[in-house]
Structures are given as structure tokens and as C-alpha cells.
Structure 1
Amino acid sequence: MAALFSGLPSIPYPPEQEGWWSPITSTLDWCEENYVVTQYVAEIINTLTNLLFVYLAVKGIRNCLKHDHDTVFLVAFIGYLLVGTGSFLFHATLTYPMQLVDELSMIYTTCLMNFATFSYGKSRRYSTILAVALVSLALFITLYYHYLQDPTFHQNAYAILTAIVLFRAMYVMEVNIRPKFRSKARERANPRPNGGVKAVQESEDLRDQEILRTMWMMITFGLSIFLGGFAVWGLDNEHCSTLRRWRRDMGMPWGFVLEGHGWWHLMTGTGAYFYIVWGVWLRHCLNYKQDEYELLWPNFWTMPEVVKRGGSSANGHTSSSRKKEL
């Protein structure tokens, strides 16, 4: 690996040193060497890659405010911002309080998405009980994790909560939007019934099938990036000593490419953003607002967003024309 970069100008890695935030008090220390670029940031790449979270969070928050998305998704993007900010501070300092800010904000944001998914269409009493249960669960995870100080517990709790909300959202999407699964009660709830006109019904069914196709593309793409980030992180943990040797042979900045946990930030941050945007689009479809809002996602290397149809007139694209470009 290092031979590929041997002919390129580089800066030798200095030895690890004490830094501004020393000593390290976190229960985790990643494969990136500490304080080798600056004494003010413990892990420079793991820190800076969190700026993607900040950028995407601001993008999501502005989109929610501009296009009147449900408040729960505005709060979710604020939670996403806290995850990125907490991770930025954690990797910059490697202190235990900042570790808690980073890891627990992941739990809280995922609990919020569980509430958004499981409370939709339910009674106020059900939603209240669910909220109390999720707050209690988040409090239990917080206290028990602080007691154990075992990162494996946090990682397992986060993985379980994420899997639950993901599969539930997929189920809700299929049974409420796909025409062949749609119940009579769901059809009667439509605020703009087609009056039994077959041509109108067929047109709406085709529209919804196209929406589902795009949603599954978003899920597949976002989940692949998200899980790919975990795979890269696993390789980073498993082969840390080899990667450190290669980085030092390559020198800076080329060695930065081999910072696996930094790639984990970029990939999981992208996957999580896709999930929240999918949730926004799904909620509008569940509310029968498919003709009022559209998903803008022109290609795989751009970040999607959901906008009011009138709000996208400046670029002249409709939802269907966007999807044809994918």
C-alpha cells in the first residue's frame, strides 16, 4: 500500500504526544494516533469528518423550516446535529464527558425516530404512553451505560433500536402505500377520494408504485453506505497496527486516507441523513400529500431533500423527472 504513494511528496508523521486535553479519560481510544498533527486536537481526522454531520444537519433543519415538515423531523435533525457536535468534541478531546455526549445523543435521536415511527396514526393516549416508555428506556440506557462503562453495551443498544425503527418504517411504508396491500380503511381515509373513477385510481396507483420504487432505492443506497461504514470501522479495529505502519510509511496527508473511523463518520452520517429524509417523505405520503411534496434526488452522488412542489419550480424539475435521472 505504501509503495503506491512512495513517489509523492509527504510530511513524516511525528510521534504521539501529550496534548491540550490530556490525559485521556474516555473508555475508548481509536486507531488514529493522538496529537500527531496539532496539540489542540487529539484525533484530527476523526474530528474533522464530523463536519459532514453539521453540514447535513443544517441542510435538514433549513429544509424542515422552509417546507413545513412535521416538527418531529426538525427535532430529529437537531438530534443529528448533536450527534455530530458530540462526536467532534469527543474525538477532539478524548475525555469521558464528551464521550457520553457523543454516544448518548445517538441513543436519544434513535429513540426519537422510534417515537415518530410508532406513534403515527395512534391515539394521544398511546402516543403519551410510548413517549414515557422511550424516555424511560433512554434514561435506563444512560444510567446503566454510565455504570458499566462498556462500549459494547452502547453499540448493541444503538444497533437494536436502529434495526427496530428501520424494519417498522419499512412495514408501515409497504402496507400503507403499496396498492395491493392498502386496506379499505386506508382508502376511506383519503381526504381526496377519487369517487371510484377507475382511470384516476390507476393513475394514483402508478404514482404510488413509482414512489415506492424510489423509496426502496433510497433505503438500499442509504443502508449500504451505513453498513459499509461499520465494515470499514471493523477493518480499522482489526488491522490497526498494520494501518498505523502503512500511514507512517506513506506520510501525511496520504496516510489520512487510511483512517477507517473517519470513513465510518462519513458513511454512517450519510446513511443516517438518507433515513431521516426518507422518514420525511414517507410521512407526507402517509398524509396523502404525494401531490403537494416531491423528493429531489437527481443522482446517487447528491443528497436528497423533500420540498413543496411550488418550492422546486426554480429548477424546473418534477418528482417524476427527477427519478428518471437516477
Structure 2
Amino acid sequence: MPSWLPSIPYPPAQAEGYWSPITSTLDWCEENYYSTPYAAEIVNTLTNLIFPYLAIKGCFNCYSQGHDRVFFVAFVGYLIVGLGSFAFHATLKYPMQLVDELGMIYTTCLMFWATFEYRRPPPIPLLLGVFSVSLSLFITGYYHYLQDPTFHQNAYAILTAIVLFRSMYVMEVNLRPYFRRRHQMHVKVLQSNLMDERERAEERRKDERDRSILVRMWFMILVGLSIFLGGFAIWTLDNKYCLTLRSWRRALGLPWGVLLEGHGWWHLMTGTGAYFYIVWGIWLRHCLNGKQDEYELIWPSLFTTIPRVMRRERSMSGADGNARKTR
């Protein structure tokens, strides 16, 4: 430890605490009960506070801005994941582990349904709902039978990848003018001779608008995915080099050793990445509903603010007045 860096020594880890004995199938790299007898892993516990913070903001945004209710429910699921993880790391009890891990599965299954049921004719949404519920129940039962965290991690990764790539496909096909025109080519051919210059100008405006939206969406996806995958990489290193990291933490002392708690970084980064995904889903749903001119992404700063989808402030009276004057 550098002599100029003020620190205090790490207290010794304790085998027993308020929530003893440990019954979870996982015990992470952070040493147990070294800071307080009331939290088995204090850093891993407190870093979960990002979930209720972002969940409350997301729920309020859904309520105040008139977003689809499925996203309000998704933020509630996101909140439950964070609270479950908070309780799991504080207690290292198996029931709390299930709340944490299965909450991730249920929320992802909800997004799976929302992604695949959109614009499907009956009874497909109902059948997809039955499938999603059945899948979540199967994962619950089989995971409880195996009690193997690898199964949960693989199931969550596969579900997340399916939902993500499906959403990307839907975004490109429905918003990018090239693919949209190919999808609607027969309609365009019939209408091309009937469109006046003003209608063609409006089409060009919409094309330019949608291209601009796609650029911002892809940037948001890349930022969110980079944060999420960065958290996963740190989590992997934390698991692989746990003994080395523990020795480094003790050499640094407190509070600096806290910065080497990889699982805490996993919470902060994956929580942020998951929030980005839900906000992107909200924005994409409005765009698929043809409401690009009614809603916009508000994200003033990459590092100091979080993105939100807000109703666009419309000042159509002036535009309408100008239109009337030209008639």
C-alpha cells in the first residue's frame, strides 16, 4: 500500500453473524461479516441499491408519460430482482438466493413475451403467454431440483440473448427505411403516382427522422451492452482470481479495497445495463406504434444522466398556422 494513501486495516472476516448459518449454494468473493454482523457481504448488499433507485425512476416515468403497462411491470420485476439480491447478499440464505435469481428469470420471460407477442393476431399472444409462464415454471422447478447455479446462469444468458437479438431485428425491419420499403413495396408502387410533392417531402422527413432515431438507438444499445458485458467480465475475474483480489484488498486497506469488490461492480454495471434495455424497449415500442413525433429520448449527458423516454413538447399551432396560410 502506498505510504501516502490513508487507510485503515481490514477487520478480520467472521464465520458467524446475525443471519448464520449460511444456506445459499453460492458464497461470493467478498469476505463475510468483516464489517458488520448484520450483513454477510456489505459491499455486495449496498451496491444493489442502484436497482430500487432506477426502478422507482422507471416506474414514475412509465406512469407520467403514458408508456405501455408491460414496461411498468418490467420495472417492478427489476425492483424485485434488486431487493432480492440485497436480501441474498445480506443473509446468504437459500430462499433469498431464489428470490434474486428467479426474479431475473421471470423479468426476462416477461420481456420475452412482450417482444414476441407484439402485433400478433389472437390467440398467439395468449399462447406465448402460456409458453412464457410454463418456461419460467420449468426453470424454477428444475433449478430447485439441481441447485446448480450454472443452470440458472446459462438459462438467463440464453433468454437475454434471444430477447436482445429479436428486439434488434424488429427495430431494423420496422424502422430502417430500406427494409420498411421492401416490406411495403407493393403499397409504395401503387401510391407513388398518387403522391404530390408535399407528401413526398413528408416521406423524406420521416425517413430522415427514422435514420436519426436508429443512430441514437444503436448508440444506446452499444453503451448499455458494453456496460452489461463489462460487468460480466469483472464478475468473471472476481470469481477466477478471488484469493489474489482478497490479498490486494487487505494490502490496500479500507476504504480503497472496496474498489476491488468485483461482484459489487457487477451489480452496478448490470443494473445500469438492464435499465438501458428497458428504456430502449419503451422507445422502440412507441416507434413501432408510429409515435416517433410524440416521444423522444432524453439523455443530455452520457456519464452524468440516465436516459428517459418523454413526451415531446409539441408546438404544432405555429406549423398549422403556416399550413393554413399556404392554402
Q: If the length of structure 1 is used for normalisation, what is the TM-score?
A: 0.91
Which of residues 12, 16, 23 is equivalent to 2:13? 16
Name the SS of the counterpart of 1:307 in structure 2: strand
Structure 2: gaps spanning 5 or more residues: 189-193, 315-327
Q: How many residues align?
A: 304
Amino acid at match of 2:38: Y
Matched with 1:321 is: none
**1:282 aligned to 261, 281, 284, which one?**
284
Q: Given the alignment, which residue of 292, 295, 300 partners 2:294? A: 292
Q: CA deviation at 1:187?
A: 7.4
User: Secondary structure at the residue paired with 1:294?
Assistant: strand
In the TM superposition, what are the counterparts of 1:241-280 in structure 2 within 5 Å? 241-280=243-282
| Residue pairs, 1:171-320, within 5 angstroms | 171-182=169-180, 183-184=183-184, 197-301=199-303, 302-310=305-313
Distance 1:267 1:186, change over 3 A: farther
Q: 1:15 to 1:298 in 2, by over 3 A?
A: same
Distance 2:60 2:67 in 1: 10
Q: Tell me the equivalent position of 1:322.
A: none
- Give SS of 1:136's match: helix
Offset, 1:252 = 1.0
CA–CA distance in structure 1, aligned partners of residues 139 and 240 of structure 2: 27
Aligned-residue sequence identity (percent) comes to: 69
Counterpart CA distance in 2 for 1:16 and 1:96 is 21
Q: 1:184 is matched by which residue type in structure 2?
A: Q
Tell me how far apart the structure 2 counterparts of residues 172 and 239 of structure 1 sit (CA, whole Å): 40
Q: Is the 8 A contact 1:176 1:186 kept in 2?
A: no
Structure 1 residue runs of 4 or more that deviate by more than 4 Å after TM superposition: 185-188
Deviations 1:3-53 (A, max 9, x none): 34x422222111111110011100000000000110000001000000011
* Separation in 2, partners of 1:195, 1:211: 25
Q: Secondary structure at the match of 1:306?
A: strand
CA distance in structure 2 between the aligned counterparts of 1:223 and 1:60, rounded to whole angstroms: 19
**1:100 to partner: Cα distance:** 0.1
Please name the residue that 2:64 is paired with.
66
Distance in 2, matches of 1:299 and 1:178, equals 26
Deviation at 1:76, TM superposition (A): 0.3
Q: Which residue of 1 aligns with 2:317?
A: none
Cα separation, 2, equivalents of 1:71 and 1:271: 21
The answer (yes or no) to whether the contact 1:51–1:84 under 8 Å persists in 2 is yes
* Residue type of the alignment partner of 1:304: P
Q: How far off its partner does 1:185 sit?
A: 8.0
Partner in structure 1 of residue 50 of structure 2:
52
Match of residue 129 from structure 2: 131
Which protein is bigger by CA-based radius of gyration?
2
Task: Give the Cα separation in 1 of the matches to 2:76 and 2:92.
Answer: 23
Task: Measure how far apart 1:118 and its partner are.
Answer: 0.3
Assess, with a 3 A threshold, how the Cα gap between structure 1 residues 128 and 13 changes in structure 2: closer, same or farther.
same
Deviation at 1:173?
0.2
Alpha-carbon distance in structure 2 between the residues aligned to 1:52 and 1:21 = 23
Root-mean-square deviation (CA), in Å?
A: 1.7
In structure 2, what is the Cα distance between the partners aligned to 1:297 and 1:236? Answer: 32
> What's the TM-score once normalised by structure 2's chain length?
0.90
Please state how far the C-alpha of 1:251 moved relative to its aligned partner. Answer: 1.0
Residues 161/187 of structure 1: CA separation in 2 closer, same or farther (3 Å cut): farther
- What do the CA deviations read for 1:232-275 (whole angstroms, capped 9, x no partner)? 00110111001101111111111100000000000000100000
Alpha-carbon contact 1:73-1:280 (below 8 Å) kept: yes
Q: What is the alpha-carbon distance in structure 1 between the residues aligned to residue 228 and residue 6 of structure 2?
A: 33
Instruction: Indicate the residue corresponding to 1:143 in structure 2.
Output: 141
Question: What is the match of residue 81 of structure 2?
Answer: 83
* 1:47–1:91 contact (8 Å) kept in structure 2: yes
Superposition map of 1:148-167 within 5 A: 148-167=146-165
In structure 1, how many angstroms separate the alpha carbons of the residues matched to 2:129 and 2:48? 29
Aligned residue for 1:122? 120
What amino acid is aligned across from residue 200 of structure 1 in structure 2? E
Q: Deviations over 1:266-313 (max 9, x none)?
A: 0000100000000000000000000111100112112100011139xx
